[in-house]
């Protein structure tokens, strides 16, 4: 699970044409250290990038129905299962601590062999859901019943869509060989 260093689709580089610069500025969070390489790859298809922003913004924003912790557990596990070091590293560095994930918890989330008992039962359910979706593109009845005891139907839909969105983002990161951010975490820091 490593990202080759040579991009298949190189991120756009400045200077940007005015419209593209405005799009990239709109895509970049105000506190980001720079325009993310992923955004500069997505902006190669400006219409797609522009239309994906509201969805990605909803999933990561305040209007989402999921707490930060739930969201980040799902994202980190999806990226781990997909081998998407780029997106995993960005979220690990930017959100894991704010989500209240300690080192033991984070290790369990990114490891296929770690003892999941260090996680709260609710957190384990999220990992089981991601693993089931990744392996079978479905959730069995017993797991669904357990999930339904903790999340409302609107939140369950959001969890499924969140996992699917980050699966798609992982495809882009991996297949395009998006170069890793210098400030983001690396696999070895958690394994």
Residue 26 lies in a domain: yes
3-state secondary structure the chain: CCCCCCCCCCCCCCCCCHHHHHHHHHHCCCCCCCCCHHHHHHCCCHHHHHHHHHHHHHHHCCCCCCCHHHHHHHHHHHHHHHCCHHHHHHHHHHHCCCCCCCHHHHHHHHCCCCCHHHCCHHHHHHHHHHHHHHHHCCCCHHHHHHHHCCCCHHHHHHHHHHHHHHHHHHHHHHHHCCCCCCCCCCHHHCC
- Residues 79, 144, single domain; the answer is yes
How many domains in the chain? 2
106-119: per-residue pLDDT in tens? 888 888 777 788 89
- Residues 89, 39, single domain; the answer is no
Instruction: Please give the residue range of the domain that contains residue 34.
Output: 18-60
Tell me: pLDDT of 191 over 50: no
Q: What is the mean pLDDT of the chain?
A: 92
Tell me: pLDDT of 151 over 90: yes
- Residues 88, 174, single domain; the answer is yes
């Amino acid at each position: 699970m490593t990202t080759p260093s040579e991009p298949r689709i190189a991120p756009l580089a400045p200077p940007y044409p005015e419209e593209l610069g405005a799009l990239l500025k709109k895509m970049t969070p105000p506190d980001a250290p720079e325009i993310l390489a992923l955004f500069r790859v997505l902006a190669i298809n400006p219409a797609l990038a522009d239309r994906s922003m509201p969805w990605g913004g909803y999933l990561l924003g305040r209007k989402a129905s999921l707490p930060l912790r739930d969201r980040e557990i799902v994202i980190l596990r999806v990226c781990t299962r997909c081998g998407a070091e780029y997106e995993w590293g960005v979220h690990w560095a930017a959100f894991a601590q704010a989500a209240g994930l300690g080192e033991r918890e984070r290790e369990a989330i990114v490891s296929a062999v770690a003892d999941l008992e260090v996680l709260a039962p609710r957190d384990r359910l999220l990992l089981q859901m991601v693993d089931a979706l990744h392996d079978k593109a479905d959730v069995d009845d017993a797991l669904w019943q357990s999930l339904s005891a903790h999340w409302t139907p609107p939140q369950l839909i959001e969890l499924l869509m969140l996992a699917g969105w980050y699966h798609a983002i992982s495809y882009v990161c991996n297949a395009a060989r998006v170069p890793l951010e210098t400030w983001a975490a690396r696999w070895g820091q958690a394994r």
